[in-house]
């Protein structure tokens, strides 16, 4: 227990985001990234911080990708840029329902 709890005084919880996957979930179901967090924790258990960073890098990257979805967002951005380029070149015409030109439904 720290002598002076800065996080508590400021009303923030910096390390809550890292362990939120292990917290009790509603309806008793595991969280989406629970398996990745578990692999990372099991890999680094008992190794020490310096050695765990080196040896468990792949597990940590998988866990962070599951949490933040950065690689997925990058791939989606590339796909949308390619689609826009193809539309400008006239090689692709999106369907009417993607352009908001479809007939109204009853």
Number of domains in the chain: 2
Contacts of residues 28-37 at CB distance under 8 Å and 24 or more positions apart, as own/partner, are 32/66, 33/63, 33/66, 33/67, 36/62, 36/63, 36/66, 37/63
Measured distance CA(48)–CA(100) in Å, rounded: 56
Give the domain extent around 28.
Answer: 18-68
Contacts of 20 (CB under 8 A, 6+ apart): 31
Residues 101 and 62 in one domain: no
**Which of 22, 27, 14, 17 shows the shortest CA–CA distance to 39?**
22
* Global model pTM greater than 0.75: no
> Is the residue at 58 inside a domain?
yes
- pLDDT per position as a tens digit, 10-25: 777 665 555 555 666 6
Residues 61 and 95 in one domain: no
> Is the residue at 11 inside a domain?
no
> Is the residue at 89 inside a domain?
yes
> Is the residue at 38 inside a domain?
yes
The answer to whether residue 48 scores a pLDDT higher than 90 is no
- pLDDT per position as a tens digit, 54-103: 999 999 999 999 989 999 999 999 999 999 999 999 999 988 877 777 77
Residues 94 and 58 in one domain: no
Residues 101 and 84 in one domain: yes
Residues 76 and 64 in one domain: no
Measured distance CA(78)–CA(73) in Å, rounded: 9
């Amino acid at each position: 227990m720290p002598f002076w709890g800065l996080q508590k005084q400021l009303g923030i919880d910096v390390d809550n985001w890292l362990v939120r996957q292990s917290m009790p979930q509603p309806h008793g179901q595991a969280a989406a990234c629970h398996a990745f967090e578990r692999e990372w924790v099991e890999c680094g258990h008992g190794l020490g911080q310096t050695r765990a960073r080196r040896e468990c890098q792949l597990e940590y990257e998988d866990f962070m990708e599951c949490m933040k979805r950065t690689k997925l967002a990058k791939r989606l951005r590339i796909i949308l840029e390619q689609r826009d380029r193809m539309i400008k070149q006239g090689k692709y015409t999106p369907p009417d329902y993607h352009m908001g030109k479809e007939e109204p439904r009853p």
